[in-house]
Every structure is written in structure tokens, then in C-alpha cells.
């Protein structure tokens, strides 16, 4: 029973988080973009690529990632749970590092921060379960792979959306 609830809750948590980002990012960019780029010049190209996405393109990125996650959930239920567990680790790490850490460093709201804080107990619970189910080594490998897949997928999607022109 836990497995099924854990698997199904992942896309719900993802949607909750990304809807917050979708609803708040434009206003945040108008107010904080220049400060953010000035403080993190090495990430200017990434920030610029994200800023250049209109709401439709940003939604396409969200939906593609959701589809990717749903496929991983189906695999977890019917075949192997490790890809879904890896994505869970990647989502948890990404959420804490990007959203919560950015909010702390810049002492300002960062899109997705509220849902990230609300999801902390969910992540803590999921991580505790994964640490009981898999060895520390397996969890480290899943975390690295999950974060890597998320980062590469986002980079690919941002690049594709830039190539599509107007949507």
C-alpha cells in the first residue's frame, strides 16, 4: 500500500510545486532578475533561457516532465521502482537546493519556495523510507542519477523551447 501511495503522490507533489512556479515566476523575474544575474553571473545563460520562455513554453516543459514522471511511476508499479525513486531523489535535491537555498541566499521569495517548504516533510518521509529499503550506496547512486536526469532533461527542454520560436 505504501508503495502505491508514494508513487502516486510524486506527480501530485510535482504539479503542486510547478503550478506555484508557473503562477509566480513572471512577477518574480520583473522584480528580481537583474539582482539575481548580478549575484550569480555564471548562471546568466541559464537564467536568460528560463526568462525567455513564455507561459506556453514553460507549461510545455512542465507537462513533458510530468509525462516523464508518470512513465517512471508506471514502471515502478509494474516493473522496477528504482527509476521513480531516483527521480524522487532528484526532485527533492533540486527543490531544496534551487528553491529553498536560493530564497535563503538572496533573502527573498524565489518561485517555488512555498511549495518547497511545504514538501519538506514529504521529502523527509520518502527519504527515510528509501534509506530503509535500499543501501546507502544505492541511494547515493539513485540521487546522483535522478538529479542528473532532471538537470539534463530541463536543459534539453529549455533548448528545444528556444528552438521552437513562438508557440
Give residue 92's pLDDT: 95
DSSP state of 157: H
- With H, G, I as helix, E, B as strand and everything else as coil, classify residue 66: helix
| Angstrom distance (rounded) from CA 88 to CA 22 | 21
Angle 60-158-154 from CA coordinates, rounded to 5°:
85
The 10s digit of each residue's pLDDT in 101-146 is 888 888 888 889 999 999 999 999 999 999 999 999 999 999 999 9
Is residue 22 a contact partner of residue 62, using CB atoms and an 8 Å limit?
A: yes
Contacts of 123 (CB under 8 A, 6+ apart): 92, 95, 96
**CA neighbor of 109 nearest in space, from 22, 25, 48, 51:** 25
CA distance 20 to 118: 12
- Say if residue 2's pLDDT is above 70: no
How far apart are the two ends of the chain, measured CA to CA in Å? 42
3-state secondary structure of 144: helix
Return d(Cα 140, Cα 41) in angstroms, integer. 30
More confident position, 2 or 128: 128
Q: Which domain holds residue 58?
A: 2-163
Count of structural domains, the chain:
1
Tens digit of each residue's pLDDT (9 = 90 or more) over 36-90: 788 878 877 777 777 777 888 888 889 999 998 999 999 988 999 999 999 999 9
At residue 165, the pLDDT reads 67
Q: Does the predicted model carry a pTM greater than 0.85?
A: yes
Measure the CA–CA gap between 25 and 51, rounded to whole angstroms: 9
Task: Give the pLDDT band (50/70/90) at residue 147.
Answer: very high
Amino acid at each position: 500500500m505504501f508503495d502505491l501511495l508514494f508513487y502516486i503522490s510524486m506527480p501530485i507533489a510535482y504539479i503542486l510545486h510547478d503550478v506555484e512556479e508557473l503562477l509566480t515566476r513572471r512577477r518574480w523575474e520583473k522584480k528580481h532578475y537583474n539582482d539575481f544575474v548580478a549575484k550569480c553571473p555564471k548562471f546568466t545563460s541559464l537564467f536568460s533561457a528560463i526568462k525567455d520562455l513564455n507561459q506556453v513554453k514553460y507549461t510545455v516543459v512542465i507537462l513533458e516532465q510530468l509525462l516523464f514522471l508518470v512513465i517512471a511511476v508506471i514502471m515502478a508499479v509494474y516493473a522496477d521502482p528504482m527509476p521513480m525513486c531516483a527521480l524522487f531523489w532528484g526532485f527533492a535535491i533540486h527543490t531544496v537546493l534551487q528553491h529553498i537555498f536560493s530564497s535563503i541566499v538572496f533573502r527573498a521569495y524565489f518561485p517555488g519556495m512555498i511549495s518547497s517548504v511545504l514538501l519538506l516533510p514529504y521529502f523527509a518521509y520518502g527519504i527515510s523510507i528509501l534509506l530503509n529499503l535500499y543501501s546507502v550506496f544505492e541511494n547515493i547512486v539513485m540521487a546522483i542519477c535522478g538529479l542528473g536526469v532532471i538537470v539534463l532533461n530541463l536543459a534539453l527542454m529549455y533548448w528545444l523551447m528556444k528552438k521552437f520560436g513562438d508557440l
